[in-house]
A = this chain, B = another copy of it.
């Protein structure tokens, strides 16, 4: 039986509560004997700042480097709104992504049938929606340098950020998108701003070439990022897999997530390249939603996105596809029985807290 090392980083706000629930799920799968999970838990984000003055400590980074998967809650909150830029809670996330080279961010936007009415879009436009956004996560304007604010002679300040992409960075994320498209309906839409950005021009060229040479059977469409955002609102079901850069991916995946009406339900995965020898890859899994400081500590947050993130870990890091399906089914099943946390509650359903939702999913398993 393979042993996998997990690093649990609950972070801030509701992160702690939802992490407690996914832990019971991890234990269940461990006891079931499909694999053995060794978990360690540590601080990240505002919690780490309070303890060490940094968003993530070197010791924690070392644990992350040694882990097979980081299970990440959420970071940030008003308490840390004015801490220095370099140690703000989000820096933990960015450092983990960059140092572990987690270049491929998978963000499914799925509309759970039971929740279609929670969408702000008309039901017929989102019912059955199943989009996968593949976002480049270690390049672009997030990490390019110069990235600085300088004071000019006349007292003015000038801020600079640099959007940077190389051929190989684009190739590897394109391949992830095409590979995943083959397991779905074999359609990829690549979004950029080639009409304004040189990185968009290169992005377009490289994705086109990879598609033509390596994936002739996958249908590839190019769409300008602004138009893509529009089309997501107009007719989201036209898309299957969308591949895009770090910044466009940030925005487009948020729009797509919001369309589903299921924000509290959506997981995400950040994956590195498989090791040439062992085939193992570094990875991090986190819910799409944030740390929701307004409801933290009340026991009413929705643990589903966090638990569904572990289902993605089973699927993408441990190759336990059947177990992943089992967990996804347990979630759907609890929903179809009418259990709802406050964020997805509608009349006629049964309102439950974080712990009850976690327990119900466990029972379903």
- Residues of chain A touching chain B, judged by Cβ–Cβ distance below 8 Å, are 76, 85, 88, 90, 94, 120-122, 125, 141-142, 144, 147-149, 152, 156-168, 193, 195-199, 201-203, 225-227, 229-230, 233-235, 247-248, 250-251, 254-255, 257-259, 263
Contact = CB atoms under 8 A, between A and B. Distances in A.
A163 B166 contact: no
A141 B90 CA distance: 23
A148 B85 contact: no
Given A141-B141, A141-B161, A233-B259, 10 more contacts: A141-B163, A156-B168, A157-B202, A158-B165, A159-B198, A160-B162, A160-B199, A193-B250, A196-B247, A230-B255
26 contacts: A76-B195, A90-B196, A120-B122, A121-B233, A148-B198, A152-B166, A156-B166, A157-B167, A158-B165, A158-B166, A158-B167, A158-B202, A159-B166, A159-B202, A160-B164, A160-B199, A161-B197, A225-B251, A226-B250, A226-B251, A226-B254, A229-B251, A230-B254, A230-B257, A230-B258, A248-B251
A148, A248, A258, most chain B CB atoms within 10 A: A258
Nearest to A85: B201
A156 B157 CA distance: 34
Contact of A196 (B142, B166, B263): B142
B198 A147 contact: yes
A160, A161, A166, most chain B CB atoms within 10 A: A161
